A and B are shown apart, each in its own frame.
Chain A
Amino acid sequence: MESLSKAMEKSGVSGNDLDYLIVSTAFPQILMNQSDPARILAQELGLKDLKALRVEYGEASGSAALEVAKSLLEAGRARYVAVVGFEKLTEYPSDKANYAYSTLLDFEYEVVRNITPPSYAAIIMREFMKRRSISKEDIAAWSVNMHEKASTNPFAQLPFKITREKALSGVVISEPLTLYDAFPLGDGAASIILSDEEGLKRASAEPVEVKEITQAVGHPLYLREDLTFFEATSNAWRELSSRTGITIDENTAIQVHDAYSIYGLLALEALGIGEAGKLLTSLDEMPFLNVGGGLKARGHPVGATPLYAVAENYELMTSGFNGLKYDGEYSLVHSMTGPDLSAYLILLKRWK
């Protein structure tokens, strides 16, 4: 509620203006004993004259919610839409959150056989290190960079810097994956207000256009020839670039889904930014990459995560964020579920 109130205040859009309230959250039935959270939130806000619904698409739920919002606006079915993402991962001991998180995999063929998401991340990291002669020390550069960015982000869950030695000292989650290679469990909420062009006339905040959204579904890890290639992300990017004709490079403001350091690297590679091993040595030259510290250090409250990323890029393109101003015309937000089981891309464009 706090996050939505702030977004409404900033945008100048009131609760009575809203046509739709779209809630994005992945695990409320398991971790909050609550179904139909969109209706509950509408009731909490005292909003009756709007339509409320929930969107769930794993760790990319927030991106899917934005796509639904964009579609409603483009179809003329709404003038103002609020998208609210949240997750409460700390209501129970962490093993319950771990269980909920594991249900992202296929219950019948993976969960039942004790396969969990960090096991897959570990296997991918292991393959990556072996095939490309990259060490754990090299990969630690990712978490050092993300913590550096989070250290000045007021919304970060882990707002502190770490050294490479510290990054390498974490407890083992799933060999070779250790604590600082993985996102922290935490709660969070983020909200975005969208409107059609007509609705902007009454809005007080500087707008940014949600130019294009693409999505792709990938194969499960065991069906892949190359365990280190994120095909869904690559396909979503191919569609986005062919629809819009834009190009991106290391200077573009990009948010990638780095639930694990290795995922952030392979996502960048799939987006064509560069070879993952080489990127590890040039992260400091990419100030607009995961500008808030990524999932790794800003945090990953699942249903809210893509919305955090969009909000950070929005700020970056308007008033500035985390001490930075960005004058590029476009910025990109990538999100996905598990090891690229599905991928979403959201292209933001500076307003006219």
Chain B
Amino acid sequence: MKHSISQFWRKKDSYYFIKLTRCRKCGRVSFPGREVCPFCGSRDVETYTSRGRGRVVSYTVTYFRREGEEESMPRIIGLIELEEGVKVPGEIVDVEPSEIEEGIEVEAVLRRLSSDNPYGLIYYGLKFIPVLKK
């Protein structure tokens, strides 16, 4: 998967942070950061940055390869429930497929996502690592 430099720069807040939305009307918190609450439609919301810590609620070890992926398969993809009480999807790294399990604590870290070519721009974004392995 190749990226647009301008798109990556413009959306860097989304790629480098986990932004959340808290609705002042219905009180619910959601991912990602948006100007409207996805549950009640209210625009009376505030966005803020998650601490990036949570636990794995479900996961899969995937061999599904897309064009342009540089890393070897498999990848571990999980749904992480953040301390703020919302789920986010993410890749979990620094753990073997045989070691991953539900409930483990993870935290978001900045990691390499891909590059234009071996000599080109490198794109970074968030992945999750087990807290104990830090």
Contact = CB atoms under 8 A, between A and B. Distances in A.
Interface of A: 92-93, 95-96, 98-99, 102, 108-116, 118-120, 122-123, 126-127, 171-177, 219, 221-223, 227
Contact of A96 (B31, B62, B67, B77): B67
B47 to A, nearest CB: 14
B125 A119 contact: no
Contacts, number: 103
B79 A221 contact: yes
Contacts of B42: none
A109 B32 contact: yes
A123 B65 contact: no
A116 B66 contact: yes
A108 B127 CA distance: 14
B31 A118 contact: no
B87 A95 contact: no
Given A119-B64, A119-B77, A221 B125 contact: no
A175 B62 contact: yes
Interface in B70-129: 75, 77-79, 86-91, 113, 125-127
B62 A222 contact: no
A99 B67 CA distance: 6
B59 to A, nearest CB: 7
A227 B38 CA distance: 17
A123 B79 CA distance: 8
12 contacts: A95-B66, A95-B67, A95-B69, A108-B15, A109-B32, A110-B89, A115-B90, A172-B61, A174-B60, A223-B31, A223-B86, A227-B58
Contacts of B69: 95, 114
Nearest to B62: A174
Contact of B60 (A102, A112, A175): A175
